[in-house]
Amino acid sequence: MATSLRLPNDIEARLTAWAAHTGRSKTFYILEAVSHSKNRYISYRAAT
């Protein structure tokens, strides 16, 4: 599923620099962040 999002300029610049530095794609890091956030939410919901 294709999704688009608009990032603030400072976050976009940091993401671009990090991706270039590590050789991974920006998509990789965005997916990692979403997955991490989802897992934290699931853990939180399980604890309440």
- Rounded to two decimals, the pTM is 0.77
Q: Residue 26's domain spans which residues?
A: 9-47
Q: Which amino acid is at 2?
A: A
Q: What is the pLDDT of residue 47?
A: 86
Predicted confidence at residue 1, as pLDDT, reads: 82
Phi, psi for residue 24 in degrees, rounded to 5: -100, 165
Flag residues of the chain having pLDDT under 50: none
Query: Would you say residue 35 lies in a domain?
Result: yes
Alpha carbons 33 and 4: distance in angstroms, whole number: 15
User: Is 26 a domain residue?
Assistant: yes
Q: How far apart are CA 40 and CA 9, in angstroms?
A: 26
Asked, for residue 25, whether it belongs to a domain, the answer is yes
Residue 33: enclosing H or E segment and its boundaries? helix 26-47
